Amino acid sequence: MKLKLLRVDTKVIMGSFFLVLSSLLALLLPLILKGLIDGSSIENIGSKVFQSFLIFIGQALFSSIGYYLFSQSGEKKIAKIRKKVIEGLIYAEKSFFDKSQSGELTSAIVNDTSVIREFLITTFPNIILSLVMVLGSIVVLFSLDWNLSLLLFITLPCMMFIILPLSNISEKYSRRLQEEIGFLTGQLTEKIQEHELIKTNQAEKSVQDVLDNCIERVQNNSLKSDRVTSFETPFALLFIFATIAVMLTYGGYRVSAGYISVGTLVSFLIYLFQLLNPISNIANFVTVYSRSKGSSVALENLLAVPKEKFEGGKSVSGRGLNFNHVYFGYDENRPVLKDITCSIFKGQKIAFVGPSGSGKSTIVRLLERFYKPLSGDILMEQSSIYDFNLKEWRSKIAWVSQNNAVLSGSIRDNLCLGLNRLVTDDELMKVLDLVSLGDEIRSMKEGLDTEVGERGRLLSGGRSQRLQIARAYLKDAEILIFDEATANLDADSEYAIISSLYSVLKEKTVVIIAHRLSTVKDVDCIFFLEEGKITGSGTHKELLENHERYARFVQEQMIE
């Protein structure tokens, strides 16, 4: 999606109309003053002063209306851009987030859109007002005295030869500055989120050094950008004031020689002073537009991020899942899964077990279709799961992550996340009782409306995992995936919850990813992974008898 900063709509047209009227009224004032100086009768002075007063009021009124209309248009466009970028991020492919920092993405949405907002609401209307003032003043100035006007407009191009190159340099530094601010935001967000890790490892000093380095990089790029910007306006003003001095000298000569009147010279100089701000705005426009262009490029890059396709695809049908010689790696040259071949039957309770780094959680990510295998396929009967409609496929799966997958909001909000049906409080409490969380929620003052804090920080790790399990059960999906889902529970709570879930999930397919074996002794089939390969499968008892590495793995956890 291409962001068009100068896109015109009805409000921009109306706003431009009122700003043009405001500029035209401003052009009348020096002419009225010329008439007063060059010999208006005493009777006419009052009427001309009244005319000036009306022009002032009209100019202020039309200008206010014009800027307000531009504000309405700009705010609407910025809101639309932010919504589009956020929508793009929400539906972006998982691989994009693997390579991105959340803080940098937040910076792009907040900072880059703020730069564009400034352009649309302030700079854009200013340039329209300024252009009318400059063009109108040129016409009036030549009508007053073409000699003075010709001299004036011979000197102005000299200013542009200096301002334009500086603006090009400013754009380059501005883009670098935005990138460094985004990187700093990303680092700061990460460090704040992991403050407990930093404190427990007494890493405050090293973290501060990293952030200080980021701040210094921002400062250096800011100074480079400011150095260029600081030259632009002073040089412009220098040329303008030099021009005024030349105009006064030559204008004084033409008055003394009788070519023009004193009123004409005063009027000419007033027009010249009126041109100061418009010319400065025009010179500044190139810089601000360059900065806004840089921000729009960053946002366009986000809008171009590949998105998951929820439309199309076949309807989900079939029983059971088959992994058919699946190879996968986050880096193509370093496979995480190697020749995974196994079957999961409908209604079966199975587990993938193995040491850390053996590829267990990667299997879940493939089932959720976050990634596609490098080779091989995952089939439901004869159809690849990647041929099914993605939205329908994910509606068939409930996933309980090993991470603290809880969002800010209430307990009710988290339980009902993504549900397309109304759920009664009784139903919510029933599922909370299932995970031994119901009594605790009833004892809370706000009950189901109790806030859980950012990323569920107000909940203990065990409560957070129980809440996730309850949410998965509430989804009523055909396939439930527990990815180290009980890691924060004690052994008794873990066994009680899993046992109660099994009793109500008899018809569901359950996939358990486990490093700890206490939860999987009673499943129908265990697949043991080592270095990305399935080296054994069977029940817990069968593997103990026939798989030496599994037996040793069990012994190490002392659960025999």
User: Please, are residues 141 and 152 in contact by the beta-carbon 8 Å criterion?
Assistant: yes
Is 309 among the domain residues? no
For the segment 98-109, the average pLDDT, to the nearest whole number, is 76
The pLDDT, as a whole number, for residue 560 is: 44
Residue 305 is classified by DSSP as S
For residue 65, name the pLDDT band (cuts at 50, 70, 90): very high
User: Please, are residues 532 and 526 in contact by the beta-carbon 8 Å criterion?
Assistant: no
For residues 98 and 214, membership in a common domain is answered with: yes
For residues 362 and 277, membership in a common domain is answered with: no
User: Please, are residues 72 and 81 in contact by the beta-carbon 8 Å criterion?
Assistant: no
Parallel, antiparallel, or unpaired for β 533-538 and 525-530? antiparallel
For residues 14 and 98, membership in a common domain is answered with: yes
Provide the domain limits for residue 216. Answer: 10-303
Collect all residues with Cβ–Cβ distance below 8 Å to 273 and sequence separation of at least 6.
Answer: 244
CA atoms within 13 A on the CB side of 534: 20
CA distance 45 to 50: 9
User: Please, are residues 237 and 159 in contact by the beta-carbon 8 Å criterion?
Assistant: no
Q: Point out the domain boundary residue: 303, 331, 361.
A: 303
The pLDDT, as a whole number, for residue 225 is: 75
For residues 241 and 351, membership in a common domain is answered with: no
**Cα separations in angstroms, 366 against 340, 384, 385, 478, 512:** 12, 12, 10, 17, 14
For residues 396 and 520, membership in a common domain is answered with: yes
State the total domains in the chain: 2
Instruction: Tell whether the model's pLDDT for residue 36 goes beyond 80.
Output: no
Instruction: Tell whether the model's pLDDT for residue 279 goes beyond 70.
Output: yes
Is 4 among the domain residues? no
The pLDDT, as a whole number, for residue 49 is: 76
Alpha-helical regions (H) of 491-547? 491-504, 540-546
Tens of pLDDT, residues 398-433: 888 877 677 778 888 888 888 878 888 888 898 888
For residues 290 and 240, membership in a common domain is answered with: yes
For residue 145, name the pLDDT band (cuts at 50, 70, 90): confident
CA distance 56 to 167: 34
CA distance 440 to 432: 9
Collect all residues with Cβ–Cβ distance below 8 Å to 558 and sequence separation of at least 6.
Answer: none
Decide which of 426 and 464 is more confident: 426
User: Please, are residues 78 and 7 in contact by the beta-carbon 8 Å criterion?
Assistant: no
Return the SS3 of 369. coil
